Amino acid sequence: MSNLKIIIAPDPRLLEVSKHVTLINNEVKGLLKDMLEIMYKSNGIGLAAPQVGVLKRLVVMDCAEQGTKKNPLKFINPEILNLSSEKSEFEEGCLSLPTQHAKVERPSIIEVKYEDENGKKIKKKFSGIEATCLQHEIDHLDGKLFVDHISKLKKNRIIKKLEKIKKTKNL
Ligand code: NI
């Protein structure tokens, strides 16, 4: 069992830009495994390393529907190569912004390059919920949250609520 903890916004650590991973060693592989574990335990569909306090460009994701076979995906140094002009809107949430949701519009289809655990370079297209989720997670690597895509008014409302939640729950 890992002892990773998810950082709750507002927190300056969630606004940092994460570093490129140059060496895929056992520490990186172990971290990806632990990130998947805590993501599943928290009923999330995606998690980025900075959300557990590690400023590395690592993302895990599983958008398989409940009741279907698991589809764990691990991304090292994910980078968006192409975005469709067509957009989709999804109601987004985030493990770092518990109980908060907002509709966010993003490109419907993306082409991403990344490395797998063996250092193999992969280029792949994602659409639907996977495209939205992966864009959301890559945003985390650049210190951006889903509330940065909505109006300032709505963002401030959510951040204020989270400040209250953090105070009462002592997070
Ligand atoms: Ni998130």
Residue (of 95, 131, 99) closest to 112 by Cα position: 131
Give pLDDT, residue 30: 97
Region 91-98: mean pLDDT is 97
Within 8 A by CB and 6+ apart from 20, the residues are: 57, 77
Ligand 1 center from residue 48 Cα (angstroms): 7
Residue 1 inside a domain? The answer is no
Residue 125 inside a domain? The answer is yes
Q: How many angstroms from the chain centroid is the CA of residue 99?
A: 16
pLDDT category at 1 given cuts 50, 70, 90 is low
pLDDT digits (tens, 9 = 90+) for 35-53: 999 999 999 999 999 999 9
Domain that holds residue 76: 12-169
pLDDT digits (tens, 9 = 90+) for 39-91: 999 999 999 999 999 999 999 999 999 889 999 999 999 999 999 999 999 99
Residue 129 above 80 pLDDT?
yes
Burial of residue 70, with CB atoms counted within 10 A of its CB: 0-12 exposed, 13-18 middle, 19 or more buried = exposed
CA dist 166 and 171 (Å) reads 5
By annotation, the residues acting in catalysis are 137
Ligand 1 center from residue 47 Cα (angstroms): 6
CATH of the domain at 44: 3.90.45.10
Q: With helix as H, strand as E and coil as C, how does 50-94 read?
A: HHHCCCECEEEECCCCCCCCCCCEEEEEEEEEEECCCEEEEEECC
How many structural domains are present in the chain? 1
